[in-house]
């Protein structure tokens, strides 16, 4: 018998006895529960469970049995534990990409970056240091549709679990986004929903804010409005000019993005309408 570690994610309408049902099926399949987390969204009557399992999954009966036992409207999936593959989209700013590259390299982010695609070539040299393929997909002189078509073509050459927008400064169409449902992660230059729009740090400066934030979120239709994964803030004061606020913003952006990605990699994030469940 070969022992593996997998993560079971279950989501279904809430009813009495769900934990008992699901864990009994795991037990019957001779799978050991390493860690279990549930959440019942009482306001919406929905049940979420994340279960780390250890054992022999080869007969493949777990999901079948769950499907039969759980109420209609349930979704279960079984995913492997471990490193995930990422395609990264960038423009010119290096800070988020730099953190992804270095943390992936020394192992504090369990992600392999399979490719980096920029609409400029500014970050090519940085990516090359890590022997990762870099592609320029220039947006100039082509229509948005053509540009995204080329982007999709380059992406199609790689296998990846997630697309990370590491300060990718272009808006993606609903068409593009729908190719990767809940698989595109963006880092937003503000503490959503504050200061949506251009020059957020000038807005923040003018308003005299005392905190600068960042938000990592999934991209669904609207660029800055998808389900939030993680948010954090950093204190600033009156002595910060807009460019100092921007620097503070970069600092909080890079730490929020890497933190959110690790949560996603660990299969701890479940998207649920406009909201997320993020287990510990």
Using CB under 8 A as the binding rule, the residues of this chain from 110 to 139 that contact a copy of itself are: 126, 129-130
- Establish if 42 lies at the interface with a copy of itself (CB under 8 A): yes
Marked catalytic residue, from 41, 224, 244, 266? 224
Q: Which of 8, 12, 99, 249 binds a copy of itself (CB under 8 A)?
A: 99
Q: d(Cα 11, Cα 75) in Å, to the nearest integer?
A: 5
The overall longest dimension of the chain from CA atoms, in Å, is 65
- Establish if 280 lies at the interface with a copy of itself (CB under 8 A): yes
- Establish if 199 lies at the interface with a copy of itself (CB under 8 A): no
The 238-277 contact track toward a copy of itself, x by CB under 8 A, reads xx-x-----x--xx---x----------------x-xxxx
- Establish if 76 lies at the interface with a copy of itself (CB under 8 A): no
Neighbours of 243 (CB within 10 A): 11
**Partners of 47 in the β-ladder:** 12, 40
Q: d(Cα 214, Cα 248) in Å, to the nearest integer?
A: 10
Which positions ≥6 away from 187 have C-beta within 8 Å? 96, 165, 166, 167, 214, 215, 216, 253, 256, 257, 260
In contact, 253 and 189? CB cutoff 8 Å: yes
Binding interface with a copy of itself (CB under 8 A):
16-20, 23-24, 26-27, 30, 32-43, 94-95, 98-99, 101-103, 105-108, 126, 129-130, 191-195, 206-211, 213, 227-233, 237-239, 241, 247, 250-251, 255, 272, 274-278, 280
Which of the residues are catalytic?
A: 224
């Amino acid at each position: 018998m070969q022992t593996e570690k997998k993560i079971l994610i279950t989501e279904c309408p809430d009813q009495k006895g769900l934990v008992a049902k699901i864990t009994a099926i795991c037990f019957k399949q001779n799978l050991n529960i390493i860690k279990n987390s549930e959440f019942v969204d009482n306001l919406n009557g929905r049940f979420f469970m994340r279960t780390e399992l250890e054992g022999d999954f080869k007969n493949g009966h777990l999901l079948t049995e769950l499907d039969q036992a759980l109420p209609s409207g349930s979704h279960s999936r079984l995913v492997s534990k471990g490193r995930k593959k990422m395609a990264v989209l960038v423009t010119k700013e290096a800070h988020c990409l730099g953190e992804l590259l270095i943390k992936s390299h020394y192992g504090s982010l369990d992600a392999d970056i399979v490719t980096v695609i920029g609409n400029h070539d500014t970050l090519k040299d940085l990516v090359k240091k890590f022997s990762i393929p870099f592609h320029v997909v220039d947006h100039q002189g082509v229509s948005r549709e053509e540009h995204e078509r080329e982007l999709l073509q380059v992406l199609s050459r790689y296998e990846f679990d997630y697309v990370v927008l590491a300060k990718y400064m272009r808006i993606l169409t609903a068409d593009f986004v729908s190719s990767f449902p809940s698989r595109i992660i963006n880092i937003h230059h503000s503490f959503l929903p504050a200061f949506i729009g251009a020059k957020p740090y000038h807005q923040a400066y003018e308003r005299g804010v005392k905190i600068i934030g960042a938000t990592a979120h999934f991209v669904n239709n609207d660029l800055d409005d998808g389900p939030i994964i993680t948010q954090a803030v950093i204190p600033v004061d009156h002595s910060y000019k807009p460019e100092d606020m921007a620097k503070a913003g970069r600092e909080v952006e890079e730490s929020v993005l890497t933190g959110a990605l690790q949560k996603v990699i660990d299969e701890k994030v479940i998207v649920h309408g406009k909201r997320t469940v993020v287990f510990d």
